[in-house]
Amino acid sequence: MFSLSGKVALVTGGSQGIGAGICRCLAQAGATVAVNYLKNGEKAASVLEEIHACGSQGILVQADVRKESEVIRMVNTVFDTYGRIDILVSNAGLYRPGDIKDTPLETWYEVLDTDLTGAFLVTKHVLPIMERQRWGRCIYTSSGSAYVGTITGAVHYPAAKAGQIALAKSLVRTESQYRITFNCLAPGLVVTASVTEDTKLDEAALREREKAFPLGFGKPEDIGYAAVYLASEEARWITGAVLDLNGGLYLRA
């Protein structure tokens, strides 16, 4: 079950954190994985080594998902290399702390352009390939903050993540005829290097915050395994859904 053998996946923001965990899990399920990164080629190369170590194929594709010309080049590179793209995981994301009153307009655009416009652009240019194949999986790494907001006043991040959910749900109406599904992952706090750097939380503060999670903090692979399921044939009847992955922190009806 949940075999992705023969499938080709493109994961944006795949060089670290949740994106790296998703790449590893897709590869373990048999998928060929194209790892997109923006700046950190060394970390991306390390992820690719892990993909090869579990017996799967993959390539690195550098691109800024905010720029359409680079997205087109990235998608063309993956397609020219493998002749297909079956799975898109739009994971590239950016978080900037700060109360709304202290947030410059430039920061608002920076986060929205990366998290939401990036998702729009990669979807726009992958969809024609999936339509011709008459099969595809589009998965968006959204966030639980899309539903509950943040406690820091950083409104740009949940706004962008809520936009990803609306994007996915809207595409269900127009693309289902091609057997393409659109779903979102909504993680709670998954502790990665970027999270601790962005939030400035030390170890003691993290442990205190973890008490709010009945099952504790998540790991990147917890999100990765969920992506494997949504990418699989077994999830063929799931579309327009948001999968909560938060260790019991909040429970939606």
CATH code of the domain covering residue 154? 3.40.50.720
Which of helix, strand or coil describes residue 97? coil
Whether 191 is in a domain gets the answer yes
Cβ neighbours of residue 212 closer than 8 Å, sequence gap 6 or more = 249
Whether 248 is in a domain gets the answer no
Residues with catalytic annotation? 157
Beta bridge partners of 141: 185
Whether 174 is in a domain gets the answer yes
The CA-atom distances, in angstroms, between 44 and each of 33, 50, 65, 121, 199 are: 12, 10, 16, 21, 23
- pLDDT at position 250, please? 78
Whether 250 is in a domain gets the answer no
Q: pLDDT tens-digit profile of 101-121?
A: 999 999 999 999 999 999 999
Whether 143 is in a domain gets the answer yes
Tokens linked to 70? 């680079």
Whether 1 is in a domain gets the answer no
Whether 94 is in a domain gets the answer yes
- Give me the domain span that covers residue 48: 8-243
Number of domains in the chain: 1
- Going by C-alpha positions, the residue among 209, 158, 207 that lies closest to residue 187 is 158
For each of the chain's 253 residues, which pLDDT tens digit applies?
799 999 999 999 999 999 999 999 999 999 999 999 999 999 999 999 999 999 999 999 999 999 999 999 999 999 999 999 999 999 999 999 888 999 999 999 999 999 999 999 999 999 999 999 999 999 999 999 999 888 777 899 999 999 999 999 999 999 999 999 999 999 988 877 665 555 566 777 777 777 777 887 889 999 999 999 999 999 999 999 999 998 887 777 6
Whether 251 is in a domain gets the answer no
- pLDDT at position 217, please? 83
